[in-house]
Structure 1
Amino acid sequence: MSGPKDLPAPKAAPQFNLLPKVVNGGIAGIVGVSVVFPLDLVKTRLQNQTIGPNGERQYKNMIDCFRQTYRAEGYFGMYRGSGVNILLITPEKAIKLAANDMFRFYLSMPDGSIPIPRQMLAGGCAGACQIIITTPMELLKIQMQDAGRVAAQIKAAGGKETKRVTAWELTSKLVKERGIFGLYKGITATACRDVSFSVVYFPLFAILSKQGLQKPTDLTPPFWWSFLSGCMAGSTAALAVNPMDVVKTRMQTLTKGSGERQYNSIMDCISTTLRYEGPTAFFKGGACRMIVIAPLFGIAQTVYYLGVAEYLLGYERQRAV
């Protein structure tokens, strides 16, 4: 009588390696933000400008904002505030991208699938995790980016030219005047924006990305497909949450130009903006934000999927969840 046939060894349970995903997320953030930062600066200035009593505007459109900024501040003026952004974008993108993958892994069904509601939950949780870094990063970045606009407005009104402050000087001033929590002004608006953005972005990106897998055994789609998926999902999510981005930007702008309004709360910002500027104000900088977010997330997802950290740290590349 023949012996029992050898049974195939059971497959090892899939594991989630957090470290390479965190490193990949950091690298992705640095590369992405370095490329698109001038567009982000223009977006901030467009969102912060208000309409005068006679309909006058400081900037006519995105191109005019680029032209005025370059003329007044030069090439490096387009990167004002980039230092703090690049410094903090590393942990911010690392948390955002790695946390989404982690939540998707643990929310997956036994067969490896993950329903859309769970994908949205995973994205929302990732967005909530990142605000501990995003809020102070955005607060400092906005002051640095908007300083040139306010200075130009003051100068045009015949006032004195204001001294440009560094990110470190601004941080020290905020902490001295308001304590460490001064760096978290606008955290509620930031949370509303980032959570809702991630709820839209990550499921949409996953659906688009999956369409690019050429074979069932592929770990990730081709790099160009990842880029296009990130661009499409990013621009869609950016437009969807642009109203909250306008509110967040205005709440976090500490130095106002002549005649510009201060806001006490999110609802005060929303109601005041509606009263004086109408509903279209919530889509200020919307096109510019889409142009910023599309390549930012396209580049970030492409770099994230390249597996640089796995190569450097000796980890085996894993399939996109």
Structure 2
Amino acid sequence: MATTLSEASVRRADVTHLREVFDKYATIKRDGESCLTPREFVRSFLGLYKEDNYNPKTVDLLGSILDTSKDGMISFMEFQAFEAALCQPDAIYRTAFQLFDRNGSGSITHDEFEEIIQLTTLHQKIPFDFRGDFMKLHFGEDRKRTVTFSEFSQVLHDFHEEHAVQAFKKYDKKRSGVINAVDFSNIMINCKSHLLSEDVKANLVAVAGGSSAGHLVTFPFFMAFNSLLNNMELIRRIYLTCAKGNLNAEVTREEFLYAAQQMSQITPLEIEILFHLTSILRQSSGRVSLNDIERIAPYRPTRYLSKPLAEVKAVDSPEARGVTTAILESMYRFTLGSVAGAAGATVVYPIDLVKTRMQNQRTGSYVGELMYRNSWDCAKKVIRYEGAQGLYRGLLPQLVGVCPEKAIKLTMNDFVRDKLSSATGSIHLWQEIVAGGCAGASQVMFTNPLEIVKIRLQIAGEIATGPKTRALDVMRDLGLRGLYKGSKACFLRDIPFSAIYFPTYAHCKLKLSDENGHNGPGSLLLSAIIAGVPAAYLVTPADVIKTRLQVQARQGQSTYSGVFDAIRKISREEGFAAFWKGGPARVLRSAPQFGFTLLTYEVLQRLFYIDFGGRRPAGSETKVPVQVSEMKSHNPDHIGGYSLALATFTGVESKFGLFLPKTVE
């Protein structure tokens, strides 16, 4: 129930700053020292129970949590001590303990425990039997034994289980060990609301009794249902074991049962309830997905990379998606893809320039002396004769074209993957290849003009004499038809590249994800770079052919009439090895370029997320149990541990059933 240590490690507030905040709300002077009343702390400082008809008893009880001296006032020392307690990972239990410890003795008596429980709505709806064995076992036959803090945490846990059992007995008037569905629903909502997601809460009557007719709930079913909800994080880990990293996998009952028996004490009845509840939530049976588990568990989403800068919900449900919404989603992805493409291209452009010059270098016996010995020699000579800016020759048309090029490729891949994926997000390898191939084909209309202008500008730098070549001059010289020269080779390169790249990237993300199936920036970048290596190198022959077709041949160099003519002449004049020229440079350029492009694209989708009712990028979102430290206050006066105060009080109420009423009857 407590927060994780890493999340709960909140920076302590500066004493001087904390004193300033305290004095701002303290209105009472006692012995020359400022003091807060419990009501000032709860209503003014925390901002709770602001309504006029608030219950003074409730507010005083909550305020008394800080008043360890039990003198009716909160001193600065007590205020500071509670701030420190809120920074601890077990803040919820410590807060609850101080609420029950009415006399500040450091332990809890039977009467103190009973007094607080009787003031809760939980007790008002389903009275707890304080004369039963539960109280005798924890506080002794004579009710004289007191409970320490460590013991208190277990008492609270056992109290919930005991209260649920007592509630079952109350509704089981015939002592048959069976209650009806409505009574079952009432018990769960009143006693176990902190374990219920909205989906489960809405289907309690439907799931009652399992698959048997009549919806009668036996005591074993009741206990198994509660145990299942208490162990949803364990259920999730069992699923991840079965799925083997594929978060879109659907696991059968047999697979789940086998994994459960290998690693836990989850019973077959609990698994039966899990699958029955899943069948109700999505009107199907036989398999369970991660999405099903997350709908059952009382989780709320949080971002793995960081909190989003912007999050907008465009539709209320996937069913509400229409043509307009789909278009808006594509425009959204296109915009982010443009930014990502520009970022990736800029990072690796010098490598691309070297790759192009190496691929254009002819090795025929009549061509003359080679200009560059290798890629490193090429880079050094560019810097020596053209300056560092020479490495970025042709960057402007590259950026003008690469934005729509990468945007179309990324958007089309996402679009086709969405269309080919099942309702749970699973997709076959051949469908991933098709989606990637479609992405590669769709980009050629932008890629080809971009490539031919860029290449001619890059090669122009090799000619020391003559006027400076500009992009507009190249476009004017080529004309519209000339801008698409070599487009067949572009198709030969871009379709296989994307068909290899995107499926490889998706599977690398699965392999490099953490134990929960989520990817951080490091694994995203590494996945994208790894995927770029085979994709870039294996299509090098097509890239060489495209370059030869698009570059303007100089005197003495062979010209090519088409793809097959280029293949025939290159192999005859330069040998088979010529098709792999610039391969390493291409890998060094394409792999990091797509690495930074995909990293930027996914990070932008996480930071500026808009919910169009579609799917997030795989591995971008983690679902975790509601943790106190996620629910920090936005009040600037809630500094240090007090940034968690509202969440802690909420946790005390929801997790332990301490819903203190506004009015006392």
TM over 0.5: yes
List per-residue Cα deviations over 1:260-294 (Å, max 9, x = no partner): 11100100100100001110000000010000011
List per-residue Cα deviations over 1:97-124 (Å, max 9, x = no partner): 1110111110112332111111000000
Whichever residue aligns with residue 297 of structure 1, its letter is F
| Deviation for aligned residue 1:215 | 5.0
Partner Cα distance (2:559, 2:467) in 1: 22
Whichever residue aligns with residue 240 of structure 1, its letter is L
| Deviation for aligned residue 1:127 | 0.5
Partner Cα distance (1:53, 1:320) in 2: 52
Whichever residue aligns with residue 203 of structure 2, its letter is L
Whichever residue aligns with residue 271 of structure 1, its letter is R
Whichever residue aligns with residue 363 of structure 2, its letter is I
| Deviation for aligned residue 1:217 | 6.8
Partner Cα distance (1:110, 1:86) in 2: 37
Structure-2 residue corresponding to 1:263:
560
| TM-score of the two chains, using structure 1 as the length reference | 0.88
- Which of these residues, 40, 48, 73, is aligned with residue 352 of structure 2? 40
Whichever residue aligns with residue 319 of structure 1, its letter is R
Partner Cα distance (1:246, 1:52) in 2: 16
More strand as a share of residues: 2
Structure-2 residue corresponding to 1:157:
none
Structure-2 residue corresponding to 1:7:
203
Structure-1 residue corresponding to 2:51:
none
* Alpha carbons 1:212, 1:222 under 8 Å: kept: no
Q: Where does the alignment leave 5 or more consecutive residues of structure 2 unmatched? A: 1-179, 186-201, 205-280, 283-294, 296-316, 619-665
Structure-1 residue corresponding to 2:166:
none
Instruction: Compare relative contact order (CA 8 Å, sep 6+) and give the higher one, 1 or 2.
Output: 1
SS of residue in 2 equivalent to 1:315: strand
- Which of these residues, 104, 110, 113, is aligned with residue 417 of structure 2? 104
Partner Cα distance (1:13, 1:32) in 2: 32
* Alpha carbons 2:364, 2:574 under 8 Å: kept: no
Partner Cα distance (1:2, 1:148) in 2: 81
SS of residue in 2 equivalent to 1:302: helix
Shift of the 2–289 alpha-carbon distance from structure 1 to 2, 3 Å rule, reads closer
* Alpha carbons 2:452, 2:550 under 8 Å: kept: yes
Shift of the 145–257 alpha-carbon distance from structure 1 to 2, 3 Å rule, reads same
Shift of the 162–214 alpha-carbon distance from structure 1 to 2, 3 Å rule, reads same
Structure-2 residue corresponding to 1:27:
339
* Alpha carbons 2:364, 2:573 under 8 Å: kept: no
| TM-score of the two chains, using structure 2 as the length reference | 0.44
Matched, 1:232 2:530: yes
Whichever residue aligns with residue 272 of structure 1, its letter is K
Structure-2 residue corresponding to 1:315:
610
Whichever residue aligns with residue 557 of structure 2, its letter is E
SS of residue in 1 equivalent to 2:556: coil
Structure-2 residue corresponding to 1:172:
476
Structure-2 residue corresponding to 1:133:
446
Partner Cα distance (2:430, 2:181) in 1: 52
List per-residue Cα deviations over 1:212-270 (Å, max 9, x = no partner): 3325474xx1111111111111111111100000000110102x233211100100100
* Alpha carbons 2:408, 2:439 under 8 Å: kept: yes
Structure-2 residue corresponding to 1:181:
481
Extract structure 1 runs of 4+ deviating beyond 6 A.
8-11
| Deviation for aligned residue 1:21 | 1.7
Shift of the 205–217 alpha-carbon distance from structure 1 to 2, 3 Å rule, reads closer
* Alpha carbons 1:41, 1:79 under 8 Å: kept: yes
Matched, 1:58 2:371: yes
Matches within 5 A, 1:288-299: 288-299=585-596
Matched, 1:190 2:490: yes
Query: Which sits farther off after the overlay, 52-61 or 64-73?
Result: 52-61
Q: Where does the alignment leave 5 or more consecutive residues of structure 1 unmatched? A: 153-160
Whichever residue aligns with residue 285 of structure 1, its letter is G
Partner Cα distance (1:51, 1:127) in 2: 31
Structure-1 residue corresponding to 2:95:
none
* Alpha carbons 2:505, 2:527 under 8 Å: kept: yes
Whichever residue aligns with residue 295 of structure 1, its letter is P
Whichever residue aligns with residue 353 of structure 2, its letter is L
| Deviation for aligned residue 1:56 | 3.9
Partner Cα distance (2:461, 2:181) in 1: 85
Partner Cα distance (2:511, 2:412) in 1: 23
Structure-1 residue corresponding to 2:543:
245
* Alpha carbons 1:25, 1:93 under 8 Å: kept: yes
